[in-house]
Structure 1
Amino acid sequence: MNDDQKKALQTLKTAKGQIEATIKMMEDDRYCIDVSNQILAAQSLLKKADLLIIKQHINNCVREAFEQDQGKEKVDEVIELLAKVIGK
């Protein structure tokens, strides 16, 4: 596991903790705005983890594919994924 993957894993674990805390807030009937802020924080962490995974993929898998003259498929995969990320 490389550094980006380790960072992504830790970020996902943090997001998991925030989601669990958000569920507890809901169960405790906490103020809606506070719950919403927790949800936004978890979403932000998920986006951060996703970017770390994409970065790792580009730096490793895509680079290796280009070294083997198979880069077009990997670029197409990344473009398709980025379209999902930006909502297109």
Structure 2
Amino acid sequence: MNEERKKAVQSLKTSKGQIEGIIKMIEDGRYCVDISNQIIAAQALLKKANMLILKQHMHHCVKDAVKMDNGDEKIDEIIDLLSKIINK
């Protein structure tokens, strides 16, 4: 597993813990703004993990496909993903 994937896994594990904590906060009737702040923090970790995975994909899969002169499909995949990220 390369460095980007290791970091992505760590971010996902951290966000998993945060989400479990958020569920408990809701169940305990904690203050809504505090819950919302924790949700924002979990979202940031998920975004970070996604960017690390995409970085790894660009440096390896897309780069290799372009070298083999068949990168158009990989580039289209990235464009589709970026469209989803931007149009949220």
TM-score bin, normalised by smaller chain? over 0.9
Cα distance between partner residues in 1 of 2:50 and 2:86: 12
Deviation at 1:12, TM superposition (A): 0.3
Cα distance between partner residues in 1 of 2:57 and 2:5: 10
Does 2:54 correspond to 1:36? no
TM-score, length-scaled by structure 2: 0.97
TM-score, length-scaled by structure 1: 0.97
Identity %: 62
For 1:6, what is the secondary structure of its paired residue?
A: helix
Unaligned residue ranges in structure 2 (runs of 5+): none
Q: Deviation digits for residues 30-74 of structure 1, max 9, x if unmatched?
A: 000000000000000000000000000000000010111111110
For 1:29, what is the secondary structure of its paired residue?
A: coil
Runs of 4+ in 1 over 3 A off after TM superposition: none
Residue of structure 2 equivalent to 1:27: 27
Letter in 1 for 2:22: T
> How many pairs does the alignment contain?
88
Residue of structure 2 equivalent to 1:83: 83
